[in-house]
Amino acid sequence: MENEMTTEKKVNDPELEQYDKLMAMPMVDIYKSLANIEGWKYREEGGQVYLVELGKADCLFDPMQDGNQLVALIEKHDIIRVYEDYDMIGWGYRVKGGRTPIMMTELQDFCGNGEPDITMSEAICRIIVFNKDPLFDVDPKDNQGDE
């Protein structure tokens, strides 16, 4: 007999399944996805992504460490920062007019180690990928449930 207090994610919720897939992606794959979204040519070397331009030296693409790269992404993709005080969730990010209402929060501590599980820059990078990468498209008919 199953415990009535057990809650499980519904298999028919494709948006949450896509979110889980996003959160499992390593940052190097997030950076490659961002480069693809921007239409940039890149190469991966040693777990890092370098932008490639003809006639110029390759440029390390690391918006988690390079504030200029991060700010350019924030401005281009119209990122909205919202504070959620319910249950002290903290700051979260969404893409204005994005395809999903899911907010990527920055100050989670679900691991219980006193450190945020997701930094501001990581939350911003991941929410852009979640909203703009075709890999995370959800067919609207999939959201109808079992009705």
Give residue-wise pLDDT tens across range 44-67: 999 999 999 877 899 999 999 999
pLDDT value of position 68 = 96
Q: If pLDDT is split at 50, 70 and 90, which confidence band does 38 have?
A: very high
- Contact predicate 62/70, CB 8 Å: no
Angstrom distances, CA of residue 134 to CA of 13, 108, 146, 147: 18, 27, 25, 27
Rounded CA separation 96/91 (Å)? 15
Least confident residue range of 85-89, 131-135, 142-146: 142-146
pLDDT at 8 over 60: no
pLDDT value of position 16 = 81
Q: Which of 103, 108, 64 is nearest to 80 (CA)?
A: 103
Please state the rounded mean pLDDT for residues 110-138.
84
Strand partners, 90: 84
Phi, psi of 9 (to 5 degrees): -65, 135
Rounded CA separation 131/138 (Å)? 10
State in Å, rounded, how far the first CA of the chain is from the last one.
26
- Contact predicate 130/100, CB 8 Å: yes
pLDDT at 86 over 90: no
Query: In whole numbers, what is the pLDDT of the chain averaged over residues?
Result: 82
CA atoms within 13 A on the CB side of 144: 6
